[in-house]
Structure 1
Amino acid sequence: MRVVLTGGGTGGHIYPALAIAEQLKADKPDTEFLYIGGKRGLENSIVPTAGLPFETLDITGFRRSLSADNLKTVLRFLRGVQASSELLEKFKPDVVVGTGGYVCGPVVYAAHKLRIPTLIHEQNAIPGLTNRFLSRYVNTVAVSFDGTQDQFPKARRVMYSGNPRATTVHRADSAEGFRLLGLPAGTPIVLVVGGSIGAKAVNEAMLEMVPEIGRMPRVHYVYVTGKRYYEDAKRSLDEAPGGTPANLHVLPYVDRMPEVLAASMLVVSRAGASFLAEVTSLGIPAVLIPSPNVTNNHQEVNARALEEEGAAIVILERELNGSRLFSAVEAVVSDDYLRENMSACSSALGKPDSAKTIVTELRKLAVRAQAIRRGVL
């Protein structure tokens, strides 16, 4: 089977695509891949490291207000469709998969024009502009949140799949997480993370909270600042009275997040859809601080979906401070009954078989297309 993957801009679009590739490869080691990304996104460093053949397009997104830049975007889209068509005709994929980001637009649209089976995956509870546009052209739309299928009224087929990143993380070994952190197995860990580059508001609240964490000395905090904020955070802690507490790990980034997640009893984070899929696949309670700086406020919608099911506590950024954050963390950590119930609710939302569900759909699309070409259907 030959598969083109496309998705870019952020890890939330890239890692689900890589999870699908991982599942395809696990099922059929001879599967061949081509990943098409944008020239400016994180995929430029992440995808080659994963060992997949990689091509790029020069593509940007539309501005939501009237702008001359939108004309340039249209021209880039048209050139992107042409470039994508050339790549697809050369690679000859059996199926094309888009996982979000502007680069998916020309690639998936070109595949539609070439009559190649297509599937797009939407990670968020509110779909992005590119996926809304593509939904009328693709064979299948897969969604991460059950109940959001009606967000794609013009799609031929919409299926609830969960987020394929959940499959990758569900396999993670908690013992390896404790080893990576240099902590004894079973240590109660609270993981605080604001994303790969970090989140200013989360960092400020965490630094305000640090004087309080001595009240729970048996709990170890793993504080992932993001690379942008690491030096400032370290300086603030070093200059504080008493320095960095013994029960606090401060890291700029975690390369093997699935293992660290698997070792954690509570997660404090933003509410990106892929990360929430990881959290629920492991059944981890969460304190969520959705970013207000995203399209359609989709992170709050993501977070509320977990809150409504009892899996998370939501703190809006405008309400966030060190005291409020510590109160939420303390409430979960100190109450076994609450924590166990939140964990059960989180697990109920998890879809650890998500990647396999999507791969099964891809194989059906490829088989059907082959049958049509042969005149069987």
Structure 2
Amino acid sequence: MTAPRVVVAGGHSAGHIEPTMNFADALRRVEPTAEITALGTVRGLDTTLVPARGYPLALIPPVPLPRGLSRALLQMPGELRDSVLAAGAVLDRVRAEVVVGFGGYVAAPAYLAARRRGLPIVVHEANALPGVANRLAARLTRRVFTAAPGVRLPNATAIGIPLRRAITGLDRAALRTAARQRFGLRTDGPVLVVTGGSQGAGTINAAVSGAAAALRAAGVQVLHITGPRHVVEVPDGDPPYVVVPYVDEMQYAYAAADFVVCRSGAMTCAELAAVGLPAAFVPLPLRGGEQRLNAEPIVAAGGALLVDDADLSPAWVETTLIPVLTGPGRIAGMSSRASAAGGPDAGAVLARHVLTVIAEHRARRR
């Protein structure tokens, strides 16, 4: 098979870019000769995150789409038309054989440009509530994949979310001691990791830091990742309560942890299931309940707790969370059930599907 030529479209936000790049990495592992070009815009994180992963980036005008499909969208008003033309120029220049889209501002133009050229389209939806770009694409192709069952897209097959190799290959037990030492934690005793996503979460920060004394009294260590815009002050003491603004390599935080308090973005849910970490999910109370839906399969499996943002408080940490953290049998059981809620390496699964699609497309053109 000659080098497959693939355009990936999942730009603007980290929630779209990360699975896009993880898929690209998986495709390179399955087929090292693959030529991969990423579509992006200057408005989002594309110009930072994509080059850092080593992939060529082609910029097109961003098209923020409405939440619902509409006649105006399908009739391609001016902004969308210009972006489709720009995306089409990229497809022609790199002689693309397939477009693999993950939603976001660049996906709809890429899908429409591919459709005009008779190129196959492969769609991956990471969230429980699909965005408008992927809902549009699901009308244009039968090759639709989702992170979890039950996502309302036609012809969808659930495969999980493409994750970094550092996550899918993580041996938490083997890395535990080194990971804890990396953050200044003791090598023994329960460790709680707290994170609100890349920007942090004020509610989570206030609730857990407010229970710092109770956590210490219970012998629980804490690695608290606040987000770069938040300041959390906790007095020095023992066991350690370590506060950091950001962690670049989350596999070390996961290896150090026994339990996590976090938001329930699609990527976070997938990573915790992949490494078998139980969690207390605190869904972001926006976006139509999307984060709650992301968390529900793991909660239903018994691998996580679910607490509303409005109900999270230092009192909840003391009365509900600490008894879990100090019960090794409870944590072990939740860890096992969290693992069961995960799945195989979705990046490799999707990569093999894409290569099959390219082979079929080439056979039709002969």
Alignment of 1:142-221 (within 5 A): 142-148=145-151, 151-153=152-154, 155=155, 158-165=156-163, 168-174=166-172, 175=175, 177-183=179-185, 185=187, 188-217=190-219, 219-221=220-222
1:211 deviates by: 2.3
Query: Is the deviation greater in 84-93 or in 115-124?
Result: 115-124
Give the residue type in structure 2 aligned to 1:277: A
Give the residue type in structure 2 aligned to 1:55: A
What is the distance in 2 between the residues matched to 1:373 and 1:342? Answer: 51
SS of 1:233's equivalent in the other structure is: coil
Instruction: Name which of 283, 302, 316 aligns with 1:324.
Output: 316
Give the residue type in structure 2 aligned to 1:99: F
Equivalent residue number for residue 249 of structure 2 = 256
Query: Structure 1 residues 223 and 118 mapped into 2: Cα distance closer, same or farther (>3 Å)?
Result: same
1:184 deviates by: 5.5
Instruction: Name which of 286, 292, 304 aligns with 1:300.
Output: 292
Equivalent residue number for residue 32 of structure 1 = 35
Query: Structure 1 residues 134 and 326 mapped into 2: Cα distance closer, same or farther (>3 Å)?
Result: farther
Query: Structure 1 residues 172 and 308 mapped into 2: Cα distance closer, same or farther (>3 Å)?
Result: same
Query: Structure 1 residues 60 and 328 mapped into 2: Cα distance closer, same or farther (>3 Å)?
Result: farther
Query: Are the aligned partners of 2:38 and 2:57 in contact in 1 as well (CA < 8 Å)?
Result: yes
1:224 equivalent in alignment to 2:225: yes
1:278 deviates by: 0.4
1:57 equivalent in alignment to 2:60: yes
Query: Are the aligned partners of 1:19 and 1:168 in contact in 2 as well (CA < 8 Å)?
Result: no
Query: Structure 1 residues 79 and 170 mapped into 2: Cα distance closer, same or farther (>3 Å)?
Result: same
Equivalent residue number for residue 92 of structure 1 = 95
Query: Are the aligned partners of 1:167 and 1:354 in contact in 2 as well (CA < 8 Å)?
Result: no
Equivalent residue number for residue 247 of structure 1 = 240
Equivalent residue number for residue 290 of structure 1 = 283
Query: Is the deviation greater in 191-200 or in 348-357?
Result: 348-357
Give percent identity, aligned residues only: 30
Query: Are the aligned partners of 1:167 and 1:355 in contact in 2 as well (CA < 8 Å)?
Result: no
What is the distance in 2 between the residues matched to 1:302 and 1:225? Answer: 22
1:340 equivalent in alignment to 2:332: yes
What is the distance in 2 between the residues matched to 1:286 and 1:243? Answer: 25
Query: Are the aligned partners of 2:261 and 2:282 in contact in 1 as well (CA < 8 Å)?
Result: yes
Give the TM-score normalised by structure 2. 0.90
1:29 deviates by: 2.1
Equivalent residue number for residue 268 of structure 2 = 275
Unaligned stretches of 5+ in structure 1?
none
Q: Deviations for 1:95-120, whole angstroms, at most 9, x for unmatched residues?
A: 21111212111012211221222111
Unaligned stretches of 5+ in structure 2?
none
What is the distance in 1 between the residues matched to 2:206 and 2:320? Answer: 16
Q: Deviations for 1:169-193, whole angstroms, at most 9, x for unmatched residues?
A: 1213542533532445565321100
Give the TM-score normalised by structure 1. 0.88
Query: Structure 1 residues 166 and 304 mapped into 2: Cα distance closer, same or farther (>3 Å)?
Result: farther
Query: Once superposed, what is the RMSD of the aligned Cα atoms?
Result: 2.3
Query: Are the aligned partners of 2:37 and 2:58 in contact in 1 as well (CA < 8 Å)?
Result: yes
What is the distance in 2 between the residues matched to 1:331 and 1:288? Answer: 16
Query: Is the deviation greater in 100-109 or in 357-366?
Result: 100-109
Query: Are the aligned partners of 2:6 and 2:98 in contact in 1 as well (CA < 8 Å)?
Result: yes
Equivalent residue number for residue 265 of structure 1 = 258
Query: Structure 1 residues 186 and 123 mapped into 2: Cα distance closer, same or farther (>3 Å)?
Result: farther
Query: Structure 1 residues 100 and 245 mapped into 2: Cα distance closer, same or farther (>3 Å)?
Result: farther
SS of 1:191's equivalent in the other structure is: strand
Aligned length: 355
1:249 deviates by: 1.3
Alignment of 1:354-369 (within 5 A): 354-369=346-361
1:316 deviates by: 0.3
Query: Structure 1 residues 345 and 246 mapped into 2: Cα distance closer, same or farther (>3 Å)?
Result: closer
Q: Deviations for 1:31-65, whole angstroms, at most 9, x for unmatched residues?
A: 21111112211222111111111122221323459
Query: Are the aligned partners of 1:189 and 1:265 in contact in 2 as well (CA < 8 Å)?
Result: yes
